[in-house]
Amino acid sequence: MHTPQAPLPSDFNAFSTAAEVIRGHDLRGKVAVVTGGAAGVGLETTRALVSAGAQVVVPARDVAKAAAGLGGLAGASIEPMELTDPASIAAFAERFLATDRPLHVLVNNAGIMAAPLSRDGRGYESQLATNHLGHFELTARLWPALRRAQGARVVALSSVGHRRSAVDFDDWNFERRPYDRWGAYGQSKSANALFALGVDARGEAHGIRAFSVHPGGIVTGLAKFMTAEEKAASPAFGRDGRPVIDPARNMKTVEQGAATSVWCAVSSALDGHGGVYCQDCNVAEPVPAESPEMRGVRPWAMDPALAERLWTLSERLTGLGVA
* pLDDT at residue 2 greater than cutoff 70: no
pLDDT of residue 254: 95
Mean pLDDT score of the chain = 95
Other Cβ atoms less than 10 A from the Cβ of 230: the count is: 13
User: Residue 237: its pLDDT value, please?
Assistant: 77
The answer to whether residue 1 is domain-embedded is no
Least confident span in 229-233, 265-269, 291-295? 229-233
In a domain, 10, yes or no: no
The pTM assigned to this predicted structure is 0.95
Report how far residue 295's alpha carbon sits from residue 102's, in angstroms, rounded to the nearest whole number. Answer: 34
- Residue 5 placed within a domain: no
Choose the catalytic residue: 124, 179, 185, 277: 185
- Going by pLDDT thresholds of 50, 70 and 90, the confidence category of residue 200 is very high
Report which residue type is found at 279: Q
Count of domains in the chain? 1
Identify the pLDDT of residue 76: 98
Q: Classify strands 105-108 and 31-34 as parallel, antiparallel or unpaired.
A: parallel
Q: Which amino acid is at 320?
A: L
Is residue 40 in some structural domain? yes
Confirm whether 8 is domain-assigned.
Answer: no
Decide if 2 is inside a domain.
no
Q: Is residue 6 part of a domain?
A: no
Angle, nearest 10°, between helix axes 63-70 and 40-51? 60
Cα separation, 136 vs 20, whole angstroms: 30
Q: Which residues contact 323 (CB under 8 A, 6 or more apart)?
A: 143
Residue 323 lies in a domain: no
- Average pLDDT of span 158-163: 97
- 86 three-state secondary structure: helix
Active site residue 124: no
For residue 27, the domain's CATH number is 3.40.50.720
**Residue span of the structural domain in which 92 resides:** 18-318
Q: pLDDT for 220-245, tens place per residue?
A: 776 677 777 777 777 777 777 777 78
